[in-house]
Amino acid sequence: MQHLPRLKELGVGILWFMPIHPIGELNRKGTLGSYYSVKDYFDVDPNLGTKDDFRQLVSEIHKLGMYVIIDWVANHTSWDNGWTVSNPDFYKRDSLGNFVPPVPDWSDVIALDYNNKGLWQEMNRALEYWVRDFDIDGYRCDVAGMVPTPYWNQLRPKLEAIKPVFMLAEWEDPALHTDAFDMTYSWNLHHLMVEVIKGKANSIAITNLIEKELKDYPKNAFRMRFTTNHDENSWNGTEFEKFGDGAKSLAVLCTTLPGMLLIYSGQEAGNT
């Protein structure tokens, strides 16, 4: 918490925390596992602290005039999530009736089945819980486009009935902005910046992209601009490895373009 005043001074308005939930143990990848393999939507990973610790953190952030959103994994759970026992019908199955990963390489998680409206109710209950009981201000929704858009559309008013929320989708579909999300990832800009640095595209392409976005997205839609994030940094190289001497210039570009800037933790100090 000692870093909160520093972040406030930098101009940070929203703090996004990666998944805070306990990590699944069954079919875990590596020793630590992935934060995106959620074992219990209603609990805090004991390695991070307690619910009271988190509640205090949210309170301190709010005192400084900043907001808190947490990562939410609605597309899949860990293999040992309690729902596999209490509500096995919440999950997709193969021809033999076995649980299945949403993507073959995501072997530590299993896909949820949104054809089951009972799942909608339970997922709503979990999402409402953190807004109501911990006073968080919204969510960053992992692989949001892999969850049916009608689910997100019906969720938003339920959260708004508790308090105003901010919703970020890890996806680019403009339709997600219609009723559910405030901001989407600007992956297209990120990939184009890589092409520009490699000499495979020129800077005019960035202008053309922004003009296209202004036509395709609602006027009140935020696009999240970034030169790096936890996904890219973990396997595809740091911003300095990808952009070289252009990293700082592209960071300035992302700051000045229409949208909202993502500062990946440590990036403000050059530690990515």
Q: Angle at Cα 223 formed by Cα 131 and Cα 143, nearest 5°? A: 60
Identify whether the C-beta of residue 227 lies closer than 8 Å to the C-beta of residue 255. Answer: no
What is the number of domains present in the chain? 2
pLDDT at 138 over 90: yes
Its domain, for residue 90, covers 1-185
Does residue 271 belong to any structural domain of this protein?
no
Average pLDDT along the chain = 95
Same domain, 81 and 211: no
Q: What is the pTM of this model?
A: 0.94
pLDDT tens, position by position, 182-231: 999 999 999 999 999 989 999 999 999 999 999 999 999 999 999 998 88
Strands (E), 62-143: 67-72, 76-78, 109-111, 138-141
* Residue 161 shares a structural domain with residue 58: yes
Starting from the edge strand earliest in sequence, which strands make up the sheet with 166-169, in order? 14-17, 67-72, 138-141, 166-169, 183-185, 222-225, 260-261
- By CB atoms closer than 10 A (0-12, 13-18, 19+), residue 84 is middle
Please indicate, yes or no, whether residues 137 and 231 belong to a single structural domain of this protein. Answer: no
Is 61 within the bounds of a domain? yes
> What band does 238 get if pLDDT is binned at 50, 70 and 90?
confident
Residues 6+ apart with CB under 8 A from 58: 68, 134, 135, 136
Asked if residue 272 is part of any domain, the answer here is: no
Identify whether 251 is part of a domain.
yes
Domain stops at, among 169, 185, 201: 185
Claim to verify: residue 103 and residue 155 sit in the same structural domain: yes
Same domain, 127 and 193: no
Cα diameter, the chain:
56
Angle between helices 204-216 and 187-197 (to 10 degrees): 170
- CA nearest 24: which of 92, 94, 101? 101
Residue 269: pLDDT band by 50, 70, 90 thresholds? confident
Which stretches of 108-195 are assigned E, i.e. beta strand?
109-111, 138-141, 166-169, 183-185
111 inside domain: yes
The CATH number given to whatever domain includes residue 80 is 3.20.20.80
Q: Are residues 160 and 257 in the same domain?
A: no
